[in-house]
Structure 1
Amino acid sequence: MFVVLLIAAAAAGWWGWQRYQAFADTPVDGLQPGAHLLVERGDSLPVVMRKLRELGVREGHEIEWRMLARELGAGGRLQVGEYALAEGMSPREILIAMRDGRVVRYAFTILPGRNMRELRAALARAEPLLHQSADLDDAALMETLGHPGQHPEGRFLPETYHYTRGDSDLDILRRAHSSMQRALDAAWSNRDPGTLLKSPDEMLIMASIVEKETGIAEERPQIAGVFERRLRIGMRLQTDPTVIYGLGATFDGNIRRRDLVTDTPYNTYTRDGLPPTPIAMPGVEALQAVARPADGDALYFVAVGDGSGRHVFSRTLAEHNAAVAQYLRRYRQARAAERAAMQEAPAVGTGPEAP
């Protein structure tokens, strides 16, 4: 009788173990594609199980879930966050993901050359980011970030920042501000000892102008060199992006001659030296270009006008005027070609009407 009972117990144990292993590694029933599980602070395993049932996971196997959580060391270590539950996941995979904190990560990118107004608008559209800065003006925002009195323009490094559900726009801005400060400190410590820039803030201002002037990486040191030489001889920077920034929300996308002669603190056609603040968010490459501008004798540059975004650099005003004339010819030819193409294209909706 004892042997029979022992064999029966062993068989039952073996059957139970096989059933448990099959449960642990078999895809859960009822899990819908694209389901997301949100584990909140204080959630216990039973609470998480209830949330799984609300997502469609069939009831039952509570004992197996508890045993598996204990085996994996996940019972008391479920990490807060949002989890993507893919179709076909097993209980083991789900518990390991929650134990190890494999939460869903979102991305927000600060684009080089964007200004503070554009950055705040992009943050306001970002989801599922919490929007805690919406009611703060720029001054209150900087005070909340721990930098009272600092102008926000140019202070946030363009790059991609990852975040999880529950993070806020203030979290992104704190990280971006710290990243910019580190990048600026590195560029300032590596600066050409002969630079005319007197402080990291001046370097940030100059880098923001260089960032707005070109998207061609190898041109940035050349443009930085042009501006450095202009400052050295007392020549005004005369750069359109600063004028546009000074126009603010009134700028309609087309800069006119009257804009160039209308004085604002940012009009480098009417004022000497650098503008009072940065005009955009410069990237690391722009900072490095300003720290080590290229040597040369060019004092002017203008777009080539072929759509490449590249520039022609000139030493004298006469050379520059010739390059400007060439740019205007290419520009007019391109516009004429566009108009001709539009005239030759068949009109939309001019065919016979349907009966």
Structure 2
Amino acid sequence: MKFVFFIFCNFAFVMKSRQKKKRYSKLILGFVCTIVALLAIVISTIIFGRFTSKEHAMLYIDNDDNIDSVYTKLEATAGPCKIGTFKFLCSLRGYSKKILPGRYDVGEGKGTYTVVQNLRHGLQTPLKLTIPQTHTVDMLAEKIAKKLRCSEDELKAAFHNKALQEKCGVNDTTIAALFIPDTYEIYWTITPEQFVERMKKEYDTFWNSKRLSKAKDIGLTPIEVSTLASIIDRETNDKEDMPIIAGLYMNRLKKGMKLESCPTAIFAVGDFTMRRVLKQHTMHESPYNTYLHAGLPPGPIYLPRPICIDAVLNYNHNDFLFMCARADRSGKHHFSKTYEEHAKYGKIYAEYLNQRNIKK
């Protein structure tokens, strides 16, 4: 019995020791797992957490930038940021060996790892470029060059590049038609030549089969439609008047009458600050002056808005041949079928300009 009792006690002791070891092993394993989990969280937070607290932080990298200048620009752009982690990841990923130029948004809650990956692969953030309304492509170059990496002179050179113009089916007088005022997503690094080609694609997209069919129906080419639309755009901002004016000019074209449009005389003179067209202006020699030359000008006198282009394509069928701005600052016009009626409105408007001391 004593022997049996001894065996039983030893067995119980061994089992108890094993249970303690097993419990200790579980505790140690749990502790190790907790440490690993905490380290994983910390590392994940450091690497994948927000690089900067700024909502928008745009980094511009040029062709001549090196890794040190990138660090400097980044700290200046992002402000307080995880620059240490960024440098570590750049070193780890070999970013300094191939720095790609571009415009990169390093804010918007992006993680440090994502920022590094975007820079490594050249995943730029496109900018929203608005094509403004202006009279000439040279003036357009002046307005948009500061938003792109290329210079004003480089843009002008591309706009007047004969080979590029031929490729796009335009020339110096018609290239303005390609630039339809709207907002487009463009990469900052786009070259001037690529920009012109991109605008040609947007132009082709705009001139879908429906618009092309309408242009054919009214007997005008897309360029001619844009040219007439550019005149209408300078005549009025009133949406209701646009198709009426388009119909009036179509009547004149069909009858072989000169358009006698004031905006074309202003374009011919080249003084876009003019507020009053005088007799001397209507006599200024230029192929754009429709007081002297019948038909449409050689090309657009302005970058016409889509609403004006569509006003031409869907012009109002009327019998008007004359129009005169109303003397009420409404932007609307009086329309007439006869010159006699038009002359009455013209006299009223001239008196209105005189009262406001508008001499030119």
TM-score, normalised relative to structure 2: 0.71
- 1:9 maps onto 2:36 in alignment: no
Q: CA contact under 8 A between 2:168 and 2:200: conserved in structure 1? A: no
Structure 2 counterpart of 1:130: 150
| Residue ranges of structure 1 left out of the alignment (5+ in a row) | 70-77, 337-355
SS at 2:40's partner residue?
Answer: helix
Structure 1 stretches of 4+ moved >6 Å: 31-34, 95-102
Alignment of 1:202-281 (within 5 A): 202-248=224-270, 253=274, 254-281=276-303
Q: After superposition, give the CA deviation of every residue in 1:212-269 in whole Å (9 maximum; x if it has no partner).
A: 2222222111011101111222221111122222223x66625321221233222222
TM-score, normalised relative to structure 1: 0.72
In 1: Cα distance, 2:140 partner to 2:148 partner: 17
Q: After superposition, give the CA deviation of every residue in 1:80-134 in whole Å (9 maximum; x if it has no partner).
A: 743334498654775687699874443332234533232122133x234322753
- 1:300 maps onto 2:322 in alignment: yes
Q: CA contact under 8 A between 2:86 and 2:112: conserved in structure 1? A: no
2:127 counterpart letter in structure 1: Y
Structure 1 counterpart of 2:182: 159
- 1:314 maps onto 2:336 in alignment: yes
Q: After superposition, give the CA deviation of every residue in 1:261-295 in whole Å (9 maximum; x if it has no partner).
A: 23322222222222222222222222222222101
- 1:118 maps onto 2:142 in alignment: no
Q: CA contact under 8 A between 1:237 and 1:268: conserved in structure 2? A: yes
Calculate percent identity across the aligned residue pairs: 22
Q: Note closer, same or farther for the CA distance 1:233–1:40 as it changes in structure 2 (3 Å cut).
A: closer
Structure 2 counterpart of 1:141: 161
Alignment of 1:56-135 (within 5 A): 57=81, 81-86=102-107, 91=112, 94=115, 103-112=124-133, 114-124=135-145, 126-131=146-151, 133-134=153-154
Counterpart among 195, 202, 215 of residue 179 in structure 1: 202
SS at 1:267's partner residue?
Answer: coil
1:217 counterpart letter in structure 2: K
1:267 counterpart letter in structure 2: N
CA RMSD of aligned residues (A): 4.4
Q: CA deviation at 1:139?
A: 7.1
Q: CA contact under 8 A between 2:104 and 2:125: conserved in structure 1? A: yes
SS at 2:302's partner residue?
Answer: coil
Aligned length: 323
Q: Note closer, same or farther for the CA distance 1:179–1:83 as it changes in structure 2 (3 Å cut).
A: closer
SS at 1:266's partner residue?
Answer: coil
Q: CA deviation at 1:142?
A: 4.6
Structure 2 counterpart of 1:188: 212
